[in-house]
Amino acid sequence: MADGFSALPPLNALRVFEVVARHLNFRLAADELGVTQAAVAQQIRALEANLGLKLFDRLPRGLGLTGAGQRYSGDIRSAFALIASATQALRPDGAQLTVSVTPTFAAKWLIPRLASFTEQHQGIDLQVLATDRLSQFRPEGVDLAVRYGRPPFGPALNTELFLPQRIVAVGSPALLQAQGAPADLQQLQRYTLLHDAHNFWPDFIGEVFQQPLQPAARNVRFNQTALAIDAAIAGQGLALASYYFVQSDLAAGRLALAFDHELRLDQAFYLVWPRNAYQPPALATVRDWLIKQAVDFLSTD
């Protein structure tokens, strides 16, 4: 004997219906779901055929719910909320959140501050995904990301400014004392320049000396900023890095500024998260904690 669930329409079609019913717009629904408008329209047509009734009226400007569509949307939304609540209740700590950051951001900024988070929010199971690859939210289970650049970062994403970019040149105090401060380009030639994937040195030198970087300069290149910073601490040359990544090393005397100049850019670090109807309960808590950490850092700098 068939169970009662055999009469259910495809769950994916119901999910699409819930989003379309909220937006009353195929384009906005497609943005939130990360699919094409054609795919959304196809799912709605298939659902209406399955049910044997119209859920939407196609209007000159957008969509309108039929009477049946209005009743169905309320029930479907409640059903999805119940599923989300049941799933959340299965998690051991009751709250779980995945944050995507770059390895350098994790090592040099986030990890030193995590102890205060775990002390304040013991009920949240925070997972840190450290990768240089641009994480996808829904497919990879990422709830919140720290991204560097300029918004917009994609459709249906919320964006909040986190930390403005400040690039400084640093080296070990022993190296700077032995080689002397690089007051001009000729003196800078004595140093090995440590590059990361951002390659800020040409712009930095152009601003400091009003001249281009000399071809004869010695260079070592790394794919991650953290490696360039560690090489600078080891006395292997001068590195350019975000001030936020080297502030603790500067305060501890492991690094020193090679120049007073800072390179200010129109790019910055942003918090980014999906614009979903359902937000994980821990999302606001983690986001607020990150913003507070940034505000406290900037206010004491």
Other C-beta atoms within 10 Å of 255: how many? 25
Closest CA to 184 of 209, 160, 148, 210: 209
Instruction: Say if CB 22 and CB 277 are below 8 A apart.
Output: yes
Give me the helices (H) in 150-280, please.
173-179, 185-188, 201-209, 225-233, 243-252
Instruction: Say if CB 57 and CB 84 are below 8 A apart.
Output: no
Which pLDDT does position 137 carry in this prediction? 80
202-236 tens-digit pLDDT: 999 999 998 887 765 789 999 999 999 999 999 99
pLDDT band at 3 (very low <50, low <70, confident <90, very high): low
- 139 vs 48, more confident: 48
Average of per-residue pLDDT across 51-59: 91
- Sequence ranges of the chain with CATH classification 3.40.190.10: 96-162+267-300, 165-264
**Nearby residues of 19 by Cβ (< 8 Å), 6 or more positions away:** 29, 32, 33, 40, 277
Write out the CATH class of domain 165-264.
alpha beta
Please check whether the domain covering 4-90 is classified as CATH 1.10.10.10.
Answer: yes
149-163 tens-digit pLDDT: 988 887 788 999 999
Which CATH number is associated with domain 96-162+267-300?
Answer: 3.40.190.10
Q: Give the CA count within 13 Å in the CB-facing half-sphere of 292.
A: 11
Which pLDDT does position 89 carry in this prediction? 58
- Which pTM was predicted? 0.67
**How far apart are alpha carbons 267 and 231 in whole angstroms?**
25
Q: Which helix (DSSP H) or strand (DSSP E) does residue 70 occupy?
A: helix 67-90
Amino acid identity for residue 43 in this structure? Q
Q: Which helix (DSSP H) or strand (DSSP E) does residue 165 occupy?
A: strand 157-171
Which pLDDT does position 2 carry in this prediction? 47
Question: Can you read off the two tokens belonging to residue 80?
Answer: 């999805």
